[in-house]
Amino acid sequence: MSLPLFLIGARGCGKTTVGQALAEATGYAFVDTDRHLQQATGRTVADIVAVEGWEGFRRRESESLQTVTAKGRVIATGGGMVLATENRQFMREQGQVIYLQADAEVLASRLAAYPEQAQRPTLTGRPIADEMVEVLASRDGLYRETAHYVVNAMQPPARVVNEIMALLCLARAG
């Protein structure tokens, strides 16, 4: 089994969709840090934020990252995982980090098409299109600093997976 593969990027970039397809293609296990956190606490992200605030959620998110990290795993991280210096360093040292990059307009349209309000609380309280511009402006540098590879996530998921596998020189499972 190989090093863990961490998928980072803003909400709506396809970390879960691409991660599941990448895991299937490589024979790795797929883990989503937000889902793990929800299962471990029995609460949604929105509930955790409401009770513990963003600081409490970020602390739990970091714990979740360390708990799920293992060889032979594709790990979809929460969009804000890169906000903590320790998380950026941990992912770079423990595995290969792939930034699924997409424009704010694409992210906003994906989030509007598939709203998951209980799981994805607003970060700014503003309309999603404005929020995505703001979030990307503040986080793009952190995503790039953390990533070993930057992949265009505005193409179909199968092409994103193929590009990642080519970059990492991975063979298809099976």
Q: For 50-56, what is the mean pLDDT?
A: 92
CA angle 126, 135, 79 (to 5 degrees): 110
pLDDT at 166 over 70: yes
Report, at the CATH architecture level, how domain 5-168 is classified.
3-Layer(aba) Sandwich (3.40)
pLDDT at 117 over 50: no
Q: Pick 66 or 11 by higher pLDDT.
A: 66
What residues does each domain of the chain span? Answer: 5-168
Q: For 58-62, what is the mean pLDDT?
A: 95
Q: Tell me, what's the pLDDT at 119?
A: 47
Q: Is residue 137 very low, low, confident or very high in pLDDT (cuts 50, 70, 90)?
A: confident
Alpha helix stretches (DSSP H) within 42-156: 45-68, 85-94, 104-113, 128-146
